[in-house]
């Protein structure tokens, strides 16, 4: 029953563009009515019609410890007693900065912002300020938030809606944004040769979540690191999704790569609106007021958000075994899905690393934007609704990674696999 969600959506479209505050939530690429959620706890979401779903989105990443995780909830309750925002420095911000520098291998200094988008936009400006160059390189199908340059060949919601190149972007932004296919080192080499001495930064999702889950090929990230060092290009890891998820120190720890700058978000705020960018001291000292690159924020370093994020990060630091548990659950689900599609003779592709995974409705080995786009979207949409009807809430797009939380135990993982098997069965019947 989706009566209340239907009513809410009908009303929402009159007041909010498309009825939602972020496009992919509207179910446009899969059709149907988005569920309006009223609460969540642990592994489950509950909608306005009181239907419960196993949540495989986790608020698009932050909820690695499940919903309403008690230490985070308690930290927020305690913090709000001292008011919500001061617009002046707090010791919590220093504590948070020290914690991030301790956890993320390449980060020596960090600036807090309010979203992943703010983090990536600021990191690009900083790279330009540092190098005195204008152009950037990004990868087709990667998403770095909704900054103008990032909406050229973008992934995530932009890709799901079929508009990876948004109107409203100026020709000069287009001219300064170079794009290359993911996992193709030679393409980057060629770009750097053609635009020698013009490129300020190369920004990448070290593991892509925004065209579905796509892994870097062996040696690819190190190859990019070497090219950036050789050409004096600032190498930016966008770890908004992968940070504190693929390992405590993010993808850079997992793959042993040292970027110059790192952008963070999602988990870092424990579910509150937070982002951060950080990296080498030499570069970060260019940020105002210590240097000339201007960047600011009324609510940046907000005490409630810092408290939530810190409670989350401290828990992860204290319990590093969480990452082995998430790896195990991820591998278990991926194996189960592979077995299921094989049994049904479907030949679909499963990409997985740690607690990120995607079932691609294609027989292609998905390594980049081109191969991701071979997915059968109508089949995915049917599967999505089948899963929803069986109480499993997937991302409403083929081009999004799913995220596991520590609350998805073996029992829930088996439920997901059973629901998936029956959903896939109904596709072949
Ligand atoms: N970078 C990556 C890799 C992301 O996945 C996202 C959001 O999904 C962003 C940046 C933008 O973050 P936000 O939505 O907090 O602005």
Strand partners, 139: 180
- Ligand 1 pocket by Cβ (under 6 Å): 60, 115-117, 120, 143-145, 156, 205, 209-210, 238, 240-241, 265, 275
Say which residues have a Cβ less than 8 Å from residue 189's Cβ, sequence separation at least 6.
Answer: 227
Contact 317, 101 (CB under 8 A): no
Q: How far is the CA of 411 from the centre of ligand 1 (A)?
A: 31
Supply the ipTM of this predicted assembly: 0.99
**In the chain, count of helices (H) and strands (E)?**
15, 14
Write out the two tokens for 61: 């990443």
Strand partners, 372: none
Say which residues have a Cβ less than 8 Å from residue 33's Cβ, sequence separation at least 6.
Answer: 2, 5, 6, 9, 27
CA-closest residue to ligand 1 atom 10: 144
CA-closest residue to ligand 1 atom 5: 241
Q: How far is the CA of 105 from the centre of ligand 1 (A)?
A: 21
> Which pLDDT belongs to residue 403?
98
Q: How many residues in the chain?
A: 429
> Which pLDDT belongs to residue 160?
67
Q: Which residues of the chain have pLDDT under 70?
A: 157-164
Shortest-distance atom of ligand 1 to CA 22: 14
Provide the pairing of β-strand 52-55 with 356-360: unpaired
Contact 362, 380 (CB under 8 A): no
143 is catalytic: yes
DSSP string, 233-271: -EEEEE-TTTTTTTSTTHHHHHHT---SEEEEEGGGGBT
Q: Is 286 helix (H, G, I), strand (E, B) or coil?
A: coil
CA-closest residue to ligand 1 atom 7: 145
Q: How far is the CA of 144 from the centre of ligand 1 (A)?
A: 5
Q: CA dihedral defined by 34, 57, 344, 338, rounded to 10 degrees?
A: 170
b/e sequence 299-310, b meaning 16+ C-beta within 10 Å: bbbbbbbbbbbb
Catalytic residue among 266, 373, 382, 407: 266
Contact 312, 267 (CB under 8 A): yes
Catalytic residue among 238, 260, 327, 368: 238
Q: What is the CA radius of gyration of the chain?
A: 21
> Which pLDDT belongs to residue 153?
81
Shortest-distance atom of ligand 1 to CA 145: 11
Pocket test residue of 112, 114, 117, 269 for ligand 1, highest count of atoms within 8 A of CB? 117
Contact 233, 202 (CB under 8 A): yes
The 10s digit of each residue's pLDDT in 218-251 is 999 999 999 999 999 999 999 999 999 999 999 9
Q: How far is the CA of 424 from the centre of ligand 1 (A)?
A: 30
Domains of the chain (ranges; CATH) run: 3-68+320-428 (3.90.1150.10), 70-318 (3.40.640.10)
Element (H, E) at 200: strand 199-204
């Amino acid at each position: 029953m989706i009566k209340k969600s239907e009513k809410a959506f009908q009303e929402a479209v009159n007041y909010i563009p498309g009825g939602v505050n972020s496009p992919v939530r509207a179910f446009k690429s899969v059709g149907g009515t988005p569920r309006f959620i009223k609460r969540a706890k642990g592994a489950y979401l509950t909608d306005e019609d009181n239907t419960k779903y196993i949540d495989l989105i986790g608020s698009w990443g932050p909820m690695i410890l499940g919903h309403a995780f008690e230490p985070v909830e308690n930290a927020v309750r305690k913090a709000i007693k001292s008011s919500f925002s001061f617009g002046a420095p707090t010791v919590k911000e220093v504590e948070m900065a020290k914690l991030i520098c301790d956890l993320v291998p390449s980060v020596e200094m960090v600036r807090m912002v309010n979203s992943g988008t703010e983090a990536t936009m600021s990191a690009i400006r900083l790279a330009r300020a540092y190098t005195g160059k204008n152009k950037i390189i990004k990868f087709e199908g990667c998403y770095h938030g909704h900054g103008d340059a990032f909406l050229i060949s973008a992934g995530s919601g932009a890709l799901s809606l079929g508009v990876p190149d948004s109107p409203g972007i100026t020709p000069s932004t287009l001219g300064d944004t170079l794009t290359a296919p993911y996992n193709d080192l030679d393409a980057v080499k060629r770009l750097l040769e053609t635009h020698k001495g013009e490129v300020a930064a190369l920004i990448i999702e070290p593991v892509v979540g925004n065209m579905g889950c796509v892994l870097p090929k062996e040696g690819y990230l190190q190859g990019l690191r070497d090219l950036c060092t050789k050409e004096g290009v600032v190498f930016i890891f966008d770890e908004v999704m992968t940070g504190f998820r693929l390992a405590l120190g993010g993808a850079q720890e997992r793959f042993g790569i040292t970027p110059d700058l790192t952008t963070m978000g999602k988990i870092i705020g424990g579910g509150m609106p937070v982002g951060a960018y950080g990296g080498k001291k030499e570069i970060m000292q260019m940020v105002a007021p210590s240097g000339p690159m201007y960047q600011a924020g009324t609510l940046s370093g907000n005490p409630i958000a810092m408290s939530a994020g810190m409670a989350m990060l401290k828990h992860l630091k204290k319990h590093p075994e969480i990452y082995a548990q998430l790896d195990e659950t991820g591998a278990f689900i991926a194996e189960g899905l592979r077995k299921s599609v094989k049994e049904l003779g479907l030949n679909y592709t499963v990409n997985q690393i740690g607690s990120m995974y995607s079932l691609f409705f294609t027989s292609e080995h998905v390594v980049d934007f081109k191969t991701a786009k071979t997915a059968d979207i109508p089949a995915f949409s049917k599967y999505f609704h089948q899963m929803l009807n069986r109480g499993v809430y997937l991302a409403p797009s083929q081009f999004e990674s799913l995220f596991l939380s520590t609350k998805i135990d073996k029992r829930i993982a088996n439920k997901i696999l059973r629901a998936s098997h029956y959903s896939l069965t109904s596709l072949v019947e």
